[in-house]
Structure formats: C-alpha cells, structure tokens
Amino acid sequence: MHNNFTKTYPDVQHYTSIDSTNAEAQRYLEKNNPKDLLWFLADEQEAGKGRMGSEWVSNKGNLFCSLICPINWDLKLLPMLSGLVAVTIHETLSQFIGSSNLLKIKWPNDILINDSKISGALIENIINGANKYTIIGIGINVISSPNLDIYKTSHINKHLENHTDVNEVFLKLKNNLENRLLIFSYKSAAIIREEMLRNAWKINEKINYISNSIEDSGIFVNISDDYEIIIRTDTSLTKLNSGELKIIRN
C-alpha cells in the first residue's frame, strides 16, 4: 500500500491507489487524535470527491493529497482557511507557471488558468468536542486534464516547456501550505483576503450564479473578512458563503 515516499517524509502517508485521500484522512481521524500535521498522498484515486457532491477525476500523474490539520486557532477564522488554501495553491502554481495574469482564483478556492480549471480543493472539518481538525484536500492537474462537459480544464505541463512532475508540485505545495498554516491568525487572514482580491477571477465583473436553486446574476464587488462573496444587483447588496452560492462559469 505505502511506498518509499513515506520513508523520506514520515509526515506523508503515500498510497499507490486509494478511493479518496480525504476519505482516508477521515478514517484515520476515527481512530487517532494526531497532534501534528499529517499528509495523505495518492498516485491515483478510485472515488475522488469534489465540492458539492461532485466527482474529481483522478488519473495517475496528477496530484491528489489531503492534509489533516489540528485546529489551534479561533473557530471564527475557519471560513478564511478556504482563502488561505486558495492563495497557497495560486502561489504554488505561480512558482511553476510564472505569476502570469492568466492564473486566477475562482471564489472560493478553484484555480483557473485562462478560464480553465487546473486545481480544486475540498475542505472538510471534523469537530468532535475538544478534538478539532480540518482536512484540506487538494487536487492539481499536473500532466493531464480530464475532458469534461461542465467546464474547461487545463494542467501545469501544458504551460511549461520543461515539464515538471507530481512529486515536485507536491513538495512545493507542502512547504507553502505548512508555512502559511504556521502563521494563520487574524493578522494573516487580512493579508490573505487582500491577496485573494488581487487575484480574483471576475472581480468587479458580472457573474452568473445559483443561490437557493435560483439562477441570478450580479457584480462580484468584494470578499468579506469571513470570506463570503459580496454581490451587487440592481436592488441589493448580498453576502453569501460558499455553501449558499455557486458561480456558474459562462
């Protein structure tokens, strides 16, 4: 099941194949109460999970990982964790592709390049009395991207002359995410919000969205300090969280 990666990095559980690294992290937390960060990395996933019950196509050569992180910050900061993850993936992809204007964060935490999705994140919180954990699942397309009907996709190597590989991307992401988590606080949350806004897809533009099962449109004007999206329509200013609003990509 595990291979050599785990020998070099004791904080990484590496699987050649698994249903979902997020599911495996959940199973781990049913039996353990880790004090430190613990990574789950898989070469491929048989049942990769996306946000809002979607599937995450998980072919070999791309990155599928989840991080178990004990929550040792104020729970009110939790919504901004989604922003922390978004800016960290954006930063990591910039280190490979260059901080091109093409890389954008689609709220809450998709990364798009040229309007095509290259990465997504699924954050699941396990709060059980005094035991508080977040599982940060991240998928990054490195060597290939699936052909999907619902949206356009891309991958890192499509934008590189000298190709990279999944291990290189994982180690950069690991480093960047661990560094940012170490200093996660109200102070860094304010900086994360600004970084998100600088790189936000469709900021100050009209977006179409679904909220309460109703399709609507409005101008995406801001992100609040609890990482809600703020939308202006002719009649109102609405602030909604990522469970309440889904941006439609057209």
- Which CB atom, from 65 or from 69, has the smaller least distance to ligand BTN? 65
Q: Out of 110, 133, 199, 218, name the contact with ligand BTN by CB under 6 A.
A: 110
Assign residue 213 a region: left if phi > 0, alpha if psi is -120 to 50, beta otherwise? Answer: left
Q: Out of 68, 111, 122, 156, name the contact with ligand BTN by CB under 6 A.
A: 122
Q: Out of 51, 60, 152, 232, name the contact with ligand BTN by CB under 6 A.
A: 51
How many C-beta neighbours within 10 Å does residue 207 have?
Answer: 21
Q: Which amino acid is at 250?
A: N
Paired with 131 in beta bridges are 128
> For residue 82, which of 48, 121, 127, 139 has the smallest C-alpha distance?
121
Q: What is the DSSP letter of 4?
A: T
User: In the structure encoding, which two tokens stand for residue 41, read together?
Assistant: 């990395």
- Which CB atom, from 117 or from 158, has the smaller least distance to ligand BTN? 117
Q: Out of 20, 82, 154, 199, name the contact with ligand BTN by CB under 6 A.
A: 20
| Cα distance between residue 63 and residue 141, in whole Å | 6
The gap from C-alpha 5 to its chain's centroid, in whole angstroms, comes to 23
Query: Does 62 engage in binding with ligand BTN (CB under 6 A)?
Result: no
Of residues 157 through 216, those in contact with ligand BTN by CB under 6 A are none
Instruction: State the DSSP string of 108-156.
Output: TTEEEETTEEEEEEEEEEEEETTEEEEEEEEEE-SS-----SSS-B--G
- Which CB atom, from 64 or from 227, has the smaller least distance to ligand BTN? 64
| Cα distance between residue 123 and residue 138, in whole Å | 8
| Cα distance between residue 91 and residue 119, in whole Å | 12
Minimum CB separation from ligand BTN for residue 165, in Å? Answer: 17
- Which CB atom, from 20 or from 154, has the smaller least distance to ligand BTN? 20
- Which CB atom, from 119 or from 157, has the smaller least distance to ligand BTN? 119
Query: Does 21 engage in binding with ligand BTN (CB under 6 A)?
Result: yes
First to last CA, the chain: 41
Question: What Cα–Cα distance (Å) separates residue 150 from each residue in 47, 121, 147?
Answer: 19, 17, 9
Of 19-27, 176-184, 192-200, 223-231, the segment contacting ligand BTN by CB under 6 A is 19-27
**Which residue has the closest beta carbon to ligand BTN?**
120
Minimum CB separation from ligand BTN for residue 174, in Å? Answer: 13
> For residue 186, which of 73, 97, 53 has the smallest C-alpha distance?
73
Minimum CB separation from ligand BTN for residue 5, in Å? Answer: 15
Q: Out of 12, 13, 66, 192, name the contact with ligand BTN by CB under 6 A.
A: 66
Query: Does 239 engage in binding with ligand BTN (CB under 6 A)?
Result: no
Of residues 124 through 163, those in contact with ligand BTN by CB under 6 A are 137-139
User: In the structure encoding, which two tokens stand for residue 199, read together?
Assistant: 């790189």
Contacts with ligand BTN by CB under 6 A lie at 20-22, 45, 48-51, 54, 56, 64-66, 110, 120-122, 137-139
